[in-house]
């Protein structure tokens, strides 16, 4: 494939096949993780990710808006998940002392315990369904590709399409 394959309005069949396979694999992986977490720990993968972000933050707390940014989802989706986690006693909301509009979410002790019990489940699935199927060279190549995609997304976040500073397809990296 070359960069030119990506320039037409429609994806070339071989490029479309790669994109479709990528989506299929990532959705299946997410489905397996989500199902196992729900069966064994009563939480979704998104809820697990929220608790991980809270556990990794100062005082196990974050503002709702920052949490939405960290897990890359809409604020309304975070609100829904926080409501569910709050009902289970795994997180609690607190008003921001400096800003009455701001809401802080805190991971409770029960939430930290649930997270600690669920972590081995995630780790074993990541190994079983993802890492164990890669050799060292493949893992290094995948890491390189993920870095390229991440850099491209960072650039897009700074200069979205339609923004005057967007660089356009002529500045896309050459694929080999």
pLDDT digits (tens, 9 = 90+) for 42-60: 999 999 999 999 999 999 9
Query: What pLDDT does 158 receive?
Result: 86
Task: Examine the domain organization and report whether 32 and 115 are in the same domain.
Answer: yes
Task: Examine the domain organization and report whether 63 and 143 are in the same domain.
Answer: no
Number of domains the chain contains: 2
Task: Examine the domain organization and report whether 103 and 36 are in the same domain.
Answer: yes
pTM of the model: 0.78
Domain residue limits at 107: 3-133
**Whole-angstrom Cα distance, residue 170 to residue 19?**
21
Domain final position from 133, 149, 168? 133
CA distances from 62 to 51, 55, 66, 173 (A): 10, 10, 7, 36
Cite the DSSP H helix spans in the chain: 13-41, 45-55, 64-70, 75-87, 109-129, 136-158
Task: Examine the domain organization and report whether 78 and 22 are in the same domain.
Answer: yes
Residues of the chain with pLDDT under 70: 1-8, 99-100, 162-176
């Amino acid at each position: 494939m070359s960069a030119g394959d990506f320039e037409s309005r429609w994806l070339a069949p071989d490029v479309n096949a790669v994109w479709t396979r990528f989506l299929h694999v990532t959705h299946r992986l997410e489905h397996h993780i989500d199902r196992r977490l729900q069966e064994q720990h009563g939480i979704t993968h998104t809820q697990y990710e929220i608790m991980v972000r809270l556990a990794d933050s100062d005082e196990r707390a974050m503002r709702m808006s920052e949490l939405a940014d960290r897990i890359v989802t809409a604020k309304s989706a975070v609100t829904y998940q926080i409501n569910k986690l709050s009902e289970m006693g795994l997180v609690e909301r607190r008003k921001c002392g400096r800003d009455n509009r701001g809401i802080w979410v805190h991971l409770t002790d029960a939430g930290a315990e649930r997270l600690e019990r669920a972590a081995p489940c995630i780790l074993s699935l990541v190994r079983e369904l993802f890492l164990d199927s890669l050799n060292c060279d493949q893992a290094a190549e995948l890491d390189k590709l993920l870095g390229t995609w991440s850099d491209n997304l960072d650039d897009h976040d700074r200069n979205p399409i339609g923004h005057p500073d967007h660089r356009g397809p002529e500045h896309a990296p050459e694929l080999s």
